[in-house]
């Protein structure tokens, strides 16, 4: 655990000393802080606007930081040959990778926490009271980013920088629409069409298409589970059970991704 | 006399062993490129071992195999009797890569502290080691400067410090004096000799053959992934040794007689130079010179340099021009 922590600490230290990190982070803080100024464009909806704009900023800027750091993590170590001196020390490959992931998670946590605190403060000011749902939404946004970071890191064990970034962004957009994928794959469930009647009507091509969609649905992370904006905007309460289930799902998904990354990294040559 | 002849503390205990190692790199589309072919050699405890070869000969591949950064296609590699992937092995080695590049957002103190932490040293142990090593590599003045502002030579020095952070038994160095000024390079060579005196084993890859000849006990010459020469520096240079007898006032008759013995002769600045590869004939030549009232100016035993041996060996092996 010591070695993992040393690498995680170093990864965090490196991330927060990058100019890119500070530019994006400060821009995000300015965007969230200015949400209240722009809320005037939606009279009577200021609370919803601040929340929507703030959470959108957290997700967007958090994603920029997480994907960039995650995707560059291993390629930059190999390109700069810093990995030679690390792996020639008593560091196992899985420890190195886990340390890198924890460093990335720590950076994302600190970034989201800072942005989240600012959003909670501004939202509480506009709403004239603390809304716990906002905290829940920020926590879920963090786990959503953690999954994307783990995808970028896993891809970076084999892929090039450009591939890793494109891959992670693509997975994010597909994952954010995962329930739509299922709806497309199983229209009879969603459109209340008679199953037998429907199956009779569709061709083999549609079967293949549906199979592909279902496979993609099961492979990509269900990121829409982490999006509670609709519930909050409609002023419904986000149940704790939903939050906990999503967090557990996020942790499980990240664990599987890191396991895959470790397997891919184990026989990698430098 | 080279430094290697002054002190050889090699113990006979094998520290690194390569047996019939072959390494192929995939080139995509199912093809491979051969980097090492049937390479075997040993490195003994307490010696400075030199691995030399032209560019692309397989030196760095060999180092990476010993460090467990890549996997052999065939053959066996042992470091301290264990697999190079064994974590206990890595506790005993230090490595300086060629043209080292470290985390440039750190300064020297932070970098060495980071590496010290990987070995599990306590804060006080790390502080003690860092003080000692920064002093040793002459970098105390620059300890708080970010590495991104370091020159190549400074980076090399700090690279050497990180390689020594765990007081390793085996030090693997890839071009340790590249980019370092002559005084710095001299200091590093002296340091390596000191480390050998302490019983450390040093595995040195270098293009600077004069340095290798000066400090290494044994040398392996690699070419196109194959071992083309190996042995002690003396063993490699001895076959090239000649005795050069320089004399003046040598009669024409004696000059011709000595030349008739198969000795290489040359006239130079009014003197005559006799070069004998058969050292047993030296007294005979001296007697002949004295018999004709000639005066011997000097008798010198000469060997080719390691560079000469290296170039000949590489060309004999049929390699393209050395780049």
DSSP string, A57-74: HHHHHHHHHHHHHHHHHH
Alpha carbons A23 and A12: distance in angstroms, whole number? 16
Using a pLDDT cut of 70, give the percent of chain B over it: 94
Q: Assess A158–B contact: CB distance below 8 Å, yes or no.
A: no
Contact flag B118-A80 (C-beta cutoff 8 Å): no
Report the 3 state secondary structure along B208-261: CHHHHHHHCCEEEEEECCEEEEEEEHHHHHHHHCEEEEEEECCCHHHHHHHHHC
**Shortest CA gap A62–chain B (Å):** 22
Identity of the highest mean pLDDT range in A121-130, B39-48, B98-107, B307-316? B39-48
Q: Assess A87–B contact: CB distance below 8 Å, yes or no.
A: yes
Q: Assess B90–A contact: CB distance below 8 Å, yes or no.
A: yes
Give the chain A residue whose CA is nearest to the CA of B60.
Answer: A270
Contact flag B119-A90 (C-beta cutoff 8 Å): yes
pLDDT in tens, B130-176: 999 999 888 999 999 999 899 888 888 999 999 999 999 999 999 88
Contact flag A89-B114 (C-beta cutoff 8 Å): no
Q: Which of B66, B70, B82, B117 to mutate to test the interface with A (most CBs of A within 10 A)?
A: B117
Q: Assess B103–A contact: CB distance below 8 Å, yes or no.
A: yes
Of A6, A81, A85, the CB nearest to B117: A6
Question: Which chain B residues are Cβ-neighbours of A10 within 8 angstroms?
Answer: 103, 114
**Residues 65..84 of A with a Cβ closer than 8 Å to B: which?**
80-82, 84
Question: Which chain B residues are Cβ-neighbours of A92 within 8 angstroms?
Answer: 87
Residues 6+ apart with CB under 8 A from A123: A47, A50, A51, A54, A131, A134
| Confidence bin at B321 (pLDDT 50/70/90) | very low
Contact between residue B152 and residue B104 where contact means Cβ atoms under 8 Å apart = no
Contact between residue B205 and residue B52 where contact means Cβ atoms under 8 Å apart = yes
Q: What ipTM describes this predicted complex?
A: 0.81
- The helix or strand, by DSSP H or E, that contains position B196, with its residue range, turns out to be helix B182-197
**Shortest CA gap B322–chain A (Å):** 26
Residues of chain A falling short of pLDDT 50: none
Q: Assess B67–A contact: CB distance below 8 Å, yes or no.
A: yes
Distance, C-alpha B255 to centroid of its chain: 41
**Residues 107..146 of B with a Cβ closer than 8 Å to A: which?**
114-115, 117-120
If one compares A267 and B322, the residue with the highest pLDDT of the two is A267
Supply the pTM of this predicted model.
0.83
pLDDT score of A202: 64
Q: Assess A203–B contact: CB distance below 8 Å, yes or no.
A: no
pLDDT score of B322: 41
pLDDT in tens, B26-38: 887 788 899 999 9
Does residue B129 surpass a pLDDT of 70? yes
Contact flag B103-A2 (C-beta cutoff 8 Å): no
Q: Assess B29–A contact: CB distance below 8 Å, yes or no.
A: no
Instruction: Please list the helix, strand and coil fractions of chain B in percent, rounded to the nearest 5, in that order.
Output: 40, 30, 30
| Confidence bin at B312 (pLDDT 50/70/90) | confident
Q: Assess A90–B contact: CB distance below 8 Å, yes or no.
A: yes
């Amino acid at each position: 655990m010591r070695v993992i922590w040393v690498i995680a600490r170093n990864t965090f230290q490196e991330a927060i000393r990058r100019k890119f990190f500070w530019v994006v982070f400060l821009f995000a803080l300015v965007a969230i802080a200015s949400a209240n100024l722009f809320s005037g464009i939606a009279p009577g909806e200021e609370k919803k606007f601040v929340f929507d704009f703030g959470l959108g900023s957290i997700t967007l800027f958090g994603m920029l930081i997480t994907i960039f750091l995650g995707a560059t993590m291993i390629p930059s170590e190999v390109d700069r040959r810093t990995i030679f001196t690390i792996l020639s020390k008593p560091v196992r490959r899985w420890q190195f990778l886990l340390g890198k992931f924890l460093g990335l998670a720590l950076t994302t946590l600190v970034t989201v926490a800072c942005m989240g605190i600012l959003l909670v403060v501004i939202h509480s000011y506009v709403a004239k009271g603390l809304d716990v749902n906002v905290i829940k939404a920020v926590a879920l946004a963090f786990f959503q980013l953690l999954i994307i970071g783990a995808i970028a890191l896993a891809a970076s064990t084999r892929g090039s920088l450009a591939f890793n970034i494109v891959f992670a962004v693509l997975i994010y957009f597909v994952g954010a629409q995962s329930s739509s994928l299922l709806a497309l794959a199983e229209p009879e469930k969603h459109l209340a069409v008679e199953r037998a009647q429907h199956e009779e009507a569709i061709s083999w091509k549609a079967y293949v298409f549906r199979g592909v969609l279902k496979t993609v649905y099961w492979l990509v992370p269900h990121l829409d589970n982490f999006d509670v904006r609709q519930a909050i905007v409609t002023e419904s309460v986000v149940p704790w059970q939903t939050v906990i289930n999503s967090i557990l799902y996020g942790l499980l998904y990240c664990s599987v991704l890191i396991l895959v990354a470790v397997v891919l990294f184990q026989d990698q040559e430098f | 006399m080279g430094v290697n002849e002054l002190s050889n503390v090699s113990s006979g205990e094998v520290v690194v062993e390569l047996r019939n190692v072959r390494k192929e790199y995939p080139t995509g589309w199912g093809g491979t490129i051969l980097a090492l072919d049937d390479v075997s050699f040993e490195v003994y405890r307490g010696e400075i071992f030199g691995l030399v070869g032209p560019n692309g000969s397989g030196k760095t591949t060999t180092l990476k195999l010993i460090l467990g950064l890549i996997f052999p296609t065939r053959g066996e590699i042992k470091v301290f009797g264990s697999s190079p992937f064994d974590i206990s092995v890595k506790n005993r080695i230090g490595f300086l890569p060629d043209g080292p590049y470290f985390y440039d957002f750190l300064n020297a103190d932070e970098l060495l502290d980071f590496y010290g932490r990987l070995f599990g040293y306590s804060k006080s142990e790390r502080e003690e080691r860092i003080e000692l090593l920064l002093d040793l590599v002459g970098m105390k003045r620059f300890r708080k400067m970010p590495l991104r502002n370091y020159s190549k030579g400074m980076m090399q020095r700090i690279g050497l410090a990180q390689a020594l952070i765990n007081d390793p038994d085996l030090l693997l160095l890839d071009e340790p004096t590249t980019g370092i000024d002559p005084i710095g390079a001299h200091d590093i060579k002296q340091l390596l000799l000191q480390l050998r005196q302490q019983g450390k084993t040093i595995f040195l890859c270098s293009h600077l053959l004069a340095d290798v000849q000066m400090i290494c006990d044994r040398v392996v010459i690699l070419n196109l992934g194959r071992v083309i020469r190996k042995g002690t520096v003396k063993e490699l240079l001895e076959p090239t040794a000649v005795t050069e007898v320089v004399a003046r006032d040598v009669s024409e008759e004696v000059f011709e007689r000595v030349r008739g013995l198969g000795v290489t002769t040359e006239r130079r600045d009014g003197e005559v130079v006799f070069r004998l590869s058969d050292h047993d004939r030296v007294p005979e030549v001296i007697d002949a010179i004295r018999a004709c009232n000639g005066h011997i100016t000097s008798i010198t035993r000469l060997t080719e340099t390691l560079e000469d041996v290296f170039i000949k060996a590489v060309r004999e092996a049929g390699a393209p021009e050395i780049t």
